[in-house]
Amino acid sequence: MDKRKVIKIYIHHSALSPDIGLEAIRELHIKRGFDDIGYHFVIEKNGEIRKGRDINIQGAHVKGDNMESIGICVCGHFEEDYPNKLQIKALRILIKKLFKEFGELQLLGHKDFSLADTLCPGQHLYELLPGIKKKLRIQK
């Protein structure tokens, strides 16, 4: 299978309890009528990086901008709470790996998409993204 063209990563939060992991999110998305979980990766509360939808298949995570993007969901509600250290570390590792595979990608929060009406990925996760990106650039 040809590799899908990818130019950006969208970061999401689940906006649910951090105890709710990949399987339950997949179930919710299927109930909503998706073929599978909408995200390509889910970072659970314990920092585990779980694979969701196959990366070569278009996701369903940013309405109107799924075509050339990868969706990563961090479990928790980060408008109110904070991602934990294990989750932040895992996110950094995952983004680094994806940059290695696809080249440097735009790193965005869901709310950066102009047509999105959402607080996702929550202020406390969103504010970490510039630092993560900066660190990866320096490490290159």
Q: Is 12 in the site for Zn ion (CB under 5 A)?
A: yes
Distance between CA atoms of 121 and 97, rounded to whole angstroms? 21
Find the part of the chain contacting Zn ion (CB under 5 A) among 17-25, 41-49, 77-85, 104-112.
104-112
* Residues 118-137 contacting Zn ion, CB under 5 A: 120
Nearest to 99 by CA among 58, 51, 53, 134: 134
The residue (of 6 and 121) whose beta carbon lies closer to Zn ion is: 121
The residue (of 68 and 100) whose beta carbon lies closer to Zn ion is: 68
Name the minimum Å distance from CB 134 to Zn ion.
Answer: 22
The residue (of 86 and 116) whose beta carbon lies closer to Zn ion is: 116
| Residue 130 DSSP SS3 | helix
Q: Is 110 in the site for Zn ion (CB under 5 A)?
A: yes
Query: Residues binding Zn ion: what is the number (CB under 5 A)?
Result: 3
The residue (of 3 and 44) whose beta carbon lies closer to Zn ion is: 44
Q: Is 20 in the site for Zn ion (CB under 5 A)?
A: no
> Per-residue DSSP letters for 16-70?
S-TT--HHHHHHHHHHTT-SS-S-SEEE-TTS-EEE-S-TTS--SSSTT--TTEE
Write out the H or E segment, with its range, that includes residue 125.
Answer: helix 123-126
Q: Is 15 in the site for Zn ion (CB under 5 A)?
A: no
**Contact by Cβ (8 Å): 41, 98:** no
Q: Is 9 in the site for Zn ion (CB under 5 A)?
A: no
What residues make contact with Zn ion under the rule CB under 5 A? 12, 110, 120
